[in-house]
Structure 1
């Protein structure tokens, strides 16, 4: 271990409370560093592979048709072989799966799923599939941060926060957007805003931004877009643009959902083969639509006055993304959403350019298109706004972006009843992502924060002292340690109240259920909720024969009663 035993015990106790602490902030920095290093390795590997056959990263239009045609098939074969060797049960990946694990497993990510995500994501992104790097980034960031929490055997409520820290650092390292990364974690992944969570997530995001800037510099994917101020007469047109983008987001999400549903029972290898066939066919005709978002952004900048080329790229990018995401290619959806939104915004700029004659409007509209499409597809309006602010470095974009985001989001939610793409994926895969109100409160408190140490522990040889001790210390819980049952090594000793009504002093020996010191009060609630009474004992898995303390049902009930104090 990195720390002495007594320091570890104090650290775990401190982190069991849902409070801001220096210890949690320091761990967030370490978790952010681990996550960011994994993402930098991930990004550099993709860039290194693409450097062998691409003149510019993510631009597949300059390579020979034979290479462009075969790359998706090679990638599909490699991903299929790797997935089958590791096990198809470990193929669940991406942001939707991370949201599921955050809610049900405190963000602890399985190793083999992460293995598939890391290498599968590298192969998919290197070969021209229209997927983004943020899906793998979120998964890998959560894994790296969770690994730290597991190594130190921290309470699960703090591991969940560290997973959020890892995700923020990973997104920040991937896109150089530290504030948008924080908002994305709070709005989409954790889906809550609490100070004791916000502060460490923010620190981890800073670490991710510093590392990526040290390696890649201060630039970002939107640096080439020229953004200018627009006058008030554009605003009514921006409302129409927002409505159109909201409708497009509905078509996009529903298309992915239908592909997921139609091909749900297909074998993975067949799905990937179909995705490779469509990618190769469309990429043969429109190579500018292949890859993540960088290629589409490049052509939105360099060919902003070529309407039919941009429209072709938009339609091809739309289809390629729907196919890749719907047919289980291991990558994210946010990067292609950026590309689709930017090309769509550039196309929407043609009308005001014709009216005003200002050819420089395309960069501004491209950025607004990205913001509206991101907000409507992901149901993340605040993250979209902050991303635009960070990527553009221009305050003049804020008001128009707010207008487009609002119109796009309201249109897609109210008029089309559109759900977030992540929610659609979770519901189709039948992965739970919501918590009962009681569990939502109790998951935030570790059992170490509520330990009751008013108990007496007797060995099997001291059983004859039970009557005396019950009489001398009635306020203390009495435990008897057994040696013949390793599954239930402790008994709770108490009087049988029903028998005592008849004048008999009968003792009850009830087996106690135990929980690891990493557990939260939600696990205690699960064990005791049926009887609405009882006790569980808490132990250290490294020393299971020792009782750290007890948790009573009354403490669970009291915590739920005072839930507002946890905010």
Structure 2
């Protein structure tokens, strides 16, 4: 007859060795868990890269497959009825979708990411990420004056957070994974891994630590590598050889920073005021009105529609005249205020790049007419306008400087870039 097992024996049989995930959670609870966290950051970057590639494919191929355009950026080629009707239809569709969702599920974008970091230690709900993906894709496809960076930041942060929640990671590791998702999203979207890392550390983690740096860097590397497999290694813009700025240019560059800083301040103030004054309206009416206003602006300047990266490219090449640059910058500002203030779930960085580039190039042309001795080309002034606009609107000067460094590939842009960014921040 078999002897009964002792309680200790039965407990040992059921307990067994601690599972690998439990050991991982225990190790990650310590501040020196850099190796394990770095590995998780690399995996999170791959997950983010897949989602960002999927988002780009949806936004870039929908109208092409539908036969309305031969290029995702060619809204200028659309007949004027389409330029008016498409944003209205998109605004109505987004509004109806969001109207049916719960109030909590409507919270999207980088602001939602920061709120979850502050109140929930980075725990991101999946419903909001789905709403962001769908709403952001519709807004971009329909030509609203929004960028893809806001949606990809939210989707990237949420995917990394959900990965960490699935592993039941401790709060400190979850926050780092959210930063990994943000870095991977920015890096894969713009093909600028350094700017993605700096943005995540400067805006999300709000600190620079070795334990945070390693996983964030690996996330940016893995996400960018995956993106380059699909889209190639070229940056978002083909920046021509730019004539360097001399010391004579610095006073006018400071003026550029002040003017662009005023544009950024006008965007922030206008968006906030419009949001406050329209909250009593139904959401579908607000988003439809934003689409209608964008369509009206597009009748005068179709360049305000969509991401506008083709307009930035032409601006860098010096193929847009002064009057057109001013009109595009002002109408892009108005349309972006309408889209942001009335609740369309798009990003901010894309419109800021367009406004900064067009305003900067316009100021470069004006400066050369006032002082023919200025040595820098309007293309360089366009890049400085991008840096000033991004730095002032996002309150992320280092990320803005790293972005133009990676986009141009020339370290000489940093000195005039700093001269433009700081005045823009102080406005």
TM-score (norm 1): 0.69
Residue 9 in structure 1 maps to residue 22 in structure 2: yes
Match of 2:47 in 1: 34
**Match runs of 1:33-182 below 5 Å:** 33-51=46-64, 52-182=67-197
Distance 1:251 1:322 in 2: 9
> Which segments of 5 or more consecutive residues in structure 2 lack a partner in the other structure?
1-16
TM-superposed deviation, 1:198: 1.4
Q: Is the 8 A contact 1:226 1:364 kept in 2?
A: no
Q: Which entry has the higher C-alpha Rg, 1 or 2?
A: 1
Q: In proportion to residue count, which structure has more strand?
A: 1
Q: Is the 8 A contact 1:34 1:145 kept in 2?
A: yes
TM-superposed deviation, 1:357: 7.6
- Give deviations 1:201-242, integer Å, cap 9, x for gaps: 111011111111111112223324442212221111112222
Residue 386 in structure 1 maps to residue 399 in structure 2: no
Runs of 4+ in 1 over 6 A off after TM superposition: 357-360
**Match runs of 1:185-196 below 5 Å:** 185-196=200-211
SS of match in other structure, 1:61 = helix
* Residue from 408, 414, 418 that aligns with 2:424: 408
TM-superposed deviation, 1:107: 1.7
Q: Is the 8 A contact 2:191 2:236 kept in 1?
A: no
**Match runs of 1:260-299 below 5 Å:** 260-299=275-314
Distance 1:100 1:357 in 2: 49
Q: Is the 8 A contact 2:318 2:379 kept in 1?
A: no
The CA RMSD over aligned residues, in Å, is: 1.8
Say which is worse superposed, 147-156 or 114-123, in terms of deviation: 147-156
Q: Is the 8 A contact 1:145 1:166 kept in 2?
A: yes
Distance 2:215 2:265 in 1: 35
TM-superposed deviation, 1:301: 3.6
SS of match in other structure, 1:375 = helix
Distance 1:62 1:22, change over 3 A: same
SS of match in other structure, 2:19 = helix
Match of 1:372 in 2: 388
Distance 1:54 1:302 in 2: 23
Q: Is the 8 A contact 2:249 2:375 kept in 1?
A: no
* Residue from 16, 19, 22 that aligns with 2:32: 19
Distance 2:292 2:240 in 1: 33
- Give deviations 1:407-466, integer Å, cap 9, x for gaps: 2212x2xxxxxxxxxxxxxxxxxxxxxxxxxxxxxxxxxxxxxxxxxxxxxxxxxxxxxx
Distance 2:317 2:401 in 1: 25
TM-superposed deviation, 1:156: 2.0
Q: Is the 8 A contact 1:304 1:346 kept in 2?
A: no
**Looking at both structures, which has the greater relative contact order when contacts are Cα pairs under 8 Å and sequence separation is at least 6?**
2
TM-superposed deviation, 1:286: 1.0
SS of match in other structure, 1:348 = helix
Distance 2:365 2:123 in 1: 47
TM-score (norm 2): 0.91
